[in-house]
Amino acid sequence: MEEFPRLHVSSHPAVLHKLALLRNEDTPPKLFRELVREISWLLGYEALLDAHISPLTVRTPIEETEGARLADRIGLVPILRAGLGMVDAMLELMPTAEVWHLGLFRDERTLRPVEYYNKLPDSATVDLCLILDPMLATGGSATAAIEVLKKWGAVTPVRIKLVNLIAAPEGVRTVTEAHPDVHIYCAALDRQLNEKGYIMPGLGDAGDRQFGTGKSG
């Protein structure tokens, strides 16, 4: 992991347990969606470890005490389609976050991302952007999403983090070289890509497996 100092791979037993179920080719879409949601929650928890808080005084039924509230304004950027399945869990963790959908699909021939939808507000009004996408394969989609956010104004001091379920070394390298300021949170760093750009061992096509469309890998 020394090659990727900004990569955070979860070692939590609950994540590892759920990830094995997620990878299983026999896992049906309903369970697959539930697992995407549950693992996203756990990864979001880890990605928020350095979020800023501000002090807050609360009154318990017994007495007053000091508490904290999340001070960072957060923007969630799910990459359509597959990133949609990660949104609900993240909103449970960060109920005040805004959600900005970004539509990118990977051209099957060139493996290059094609942007088809962008619902970013006019200006960058957040402190932290979390890009949500289950798969980091070649890194083309993630790099394109980061570039969209930076052009839009998400530059220092705005922090950008990438939350993926599974990453390939090729994708982590591409993102890290192009955007060394971006931290990546994932449940697994897999071996490599196959000739079609799918992650090995991976889980196949994250969009298809969530939405019950097609069979691939």
Residues that bind ligand PRP (CB under 6 A): 79-82, 104-106, 111, 113, 133-142, 171, 197, 205-207
CB of 58 to ligand URA, least distance (A): 43
Indicate the residue among 18 and 106 with the shorter CB distance to ligand PRP: 106
Structure tokens belonging to residue 122:
């006019």
170: region left, alpha or beta (phi > 0 left; psi from -120 to 50 alpha): alpha
Residue 55 has phi, psi (to 5 degrees) of -70, 155
CB of 181 to ligand PRP, least distance (A): 19
Indicate the residue among 48 and 199 with the shorter CB distance to ligand URA: 199
Tell me, rounded to whole angstroms, the distance of Cα 36 from its chain centroid: 11
Q: Cβ(187)–Cβ(7) under 8 Å?
A: no
What residue 199 binds from ligand PRP, ligand URA, none (CB within 5 to 8 A, per partner kind)?
A: ligand URA
What residue 81 binds from ligand PRP, ligand URA, none (CB within 5 to 8 A, per partner kind)?
A: ligand PRP
**Catalytic annotation, residues:** 106, 110, 205, 208
CB of 157 to ligand URA, least distance (A): 32
CB of 52 to ligand PRP, least distance (A): 29
Indicate the residue among 127 and 170 with the shorter CB distance to ligand PRP: 170
Structure tokens belonging to residue 193:
């890509």
Sign of CA dihedral 139, 49, 85, 148: negative
DSSP structure class, residue 49: T
Residue 80 has phi, psi (to 5 degrees) of -70, 145
What residue ranges bind ligand URA (CB under 6 A)? Answer: 82, 135, 137, 197-199, 202, 205-207
